[in-house]
Amino acid sequence: MKTLIALLAAASVYPATSVAAPPVFLNCQLTVAPDYQAFRSQEQKDAFVLEVLQRGIAGYLLPPSETWMVDFDNKQVIDLENGPKSAIRAADITAAMIIGADGYGNRFTLNRVSGRLKFTRSSGINSFVAQGITVPTTSTWEFQCRASPDRVI
């Protein structure tokens, strides 16, 4: 965790200088997933996924990336697994937090001190019940992240 604090704190100094800030790479591990993803059987899971696919929100079920690049110069957080289209642009970067949203209603909140990341994904439709499971309009995943000066795969 000291590495995370040191890398992110050092990078926050760069915007005040004319030297480009090096990117910081985040490697995160899932700690909390939405509880609606607990299924009683494989049949229930298959039927649930089919219904969600038919509603056109399959991407809503997928957990967010576990690897990110923080680009301090451009105030972006780039999802290294899903590419630049999933980037958090115009992120609000402070000494304590990095907060931003993408163009799909998803929200990224990283506590720069603790390394805790919350990623909230929006389905874009109202809550509904599928196979006896209430699917909320938004879901939140939580991660514990470590920073590195090198790209994480």
pLDDT of residue 136: 86
Pick from 100, 114, 130: nearest CA to 36? 130
Cα–chain center distance at 34: 13
**SS3 of residue 42 by DSSP:** helix
> Could you tell me which residues are beta bridge partners of residue 99?
92, 109
**In this predicted structure, what is the pLDDT of residue 128?**
86
The answer to whether 117 and 131 are in contact (CB under 8 A) is no
Phi, psi of 58 (to 5 degrees): -60, -40
Name the helix (H) or strand (E) containing 135: strand 133-135
Per-residue pLDDT of the chain in tens (153 residues, 90 and over written 9): 555 554 455 555 444 555 788 999 999 999 998 877 677 889 888 888 888 888 888 778 788 889 999 999 999 999 888 777 778 989 999 999 999 998 888 899 999 999 999 999 888 888 888 888 888 888 999 999 999 888 866
Domain ranges of the chain: 2-148
**Residue 131, phi then psi, degrees to nearest 5:** 55, 40
Whole-structure pTM value: 0.77
Question: What pLDDT is attached to residue 14?
Answer: 47
